[in-house]
Structure 1
């Protein structure tokens, strides 16, 4: 199942005048390393930013996302927790923490984070998709379908949500519905779905 993270690539960030130049250079370097898949390098560069600006919420969140990518899940959650302590309404930290909890198979913890996120932004398709992942992990297949459906209503070309919705439909015996969703995901350019179509839809 698909669980995609959002990297906060901010072109403008607020640092103190004293450290602005160096911190900005490290921040931009970290974002570039992340985009190139050098997550370890990104973590090091974000850490350099935080040595100068230890309360920079965007950097804490981005480092958490990079740490998740290298499966440093506990450290990632520490970064998200610190970001949320500094800025309780910082949704990217909350939603990213939810996915890291999902990766740790803490499905109930992930569900709670996405419930909070959707209370604050009920029109966020990504949060519905990711809460669907948590519900699927808890074997709440009907709840997962409901969330994926809300995601595609908000974003009609959301290939991952169609792809994800196929699994709980299949588990509930709706093979035709599952295959229809997987074919929509394929038509939207999601290549990973071919395996499911070949295995379950022929």
Structure 2
């Protein structure tokens, strides 16, 4: 028995250090769970990061996005707002808050966030597509078409932008342009485009 005693003491002394996960480990774990669609579990890991480092802007933003995915829009907005207060030039926080505000149908506030986010990240195709959604919500279909067109210019295989532009063009009375966009969206794998083609492009 005596010959095993030093090893046993070593394990007892070092176990607490092994049991304590670092903020980095929780952050990586949270991101892994987020990518797997385990948003509630990801939030728990992000909580652990923020307990150790409450000013970690990326974690605040990631937790906000996870909360948005769980339809907890106001909690998400609170996280994005904290991130913006800590890092006023962090484009992703503005763009993410814009999307949560869009989900609450607060289109005008969403537009303001998208404007700021796009000013900070002018080459972000998704940002233009999402701002187009806000314009569409405000019934500014010309503004929506302009943003979807910019998104497509930045990413020519952006199927959702073609699909969304088609809807805005249709509302503007441009059936030919809408049908061309739905055809392109279908070719890029947007399944709902086939339904629109059947219903509106006979």
TM-score normalized by the length of structure 1: 0.87
CA distance in 1, matches of 2:59, 2:165: 33
Is there any run of 5+ residues in structure 2 with no aligned partner, and where?
A: 1-19
1:146-185 aligned within 5 A: 146-185=146-185
CA drift at 1:192? 2.9
- What is the match of residue 112 of structure 2? 112
1:6-85 aligned within 5 A: 22-85=22-85
CA distance in 2, matches of 1:34, 1:119: 28
Secondary structure, counterpart of 1:51 in structure 2: helix
Q: Runs of 4+ in structure 1 displaced over 6 angstroms?
A: none
Secondary structure, counterpart of 2:22 in structure 1: helix
Cα 1:40–1:21 shift into 2, 3 Å: closer
Secondary structure, counterpart of 1:198 in structure 2: helix
CA distance in 2, matches of 1:189, 1:85: 39
Q: Which has the larger radius of gyration?
A: 2
1:96-146 CA-partner distances (Å, limit 9, x unpaired)? 011011000000001001111222232221111111000000000011001
Secondary structure, counterpart of 1:85 in structure 2: helix
Secondary structure, counterpart of 1:173 in structure 2: coil
CA drift at 1:31? 1.0
TM-score normalized by the length of structure 2: 0.87
CA distance in 2, matches of 1:132, 1:81: 22
CA distance in 1, matches of 2:200, 2:37: 33
CA distance in 1, matches of 2:108, 2:21: 42
CA distance in 1, matches of 2:61, 2:194: 34
CA distance in 2, matches of 1:168, 1:28: 40
RMSD of the TM alignment (CA)? 1.3
- What is the match of residue 187 of structure 2? 187
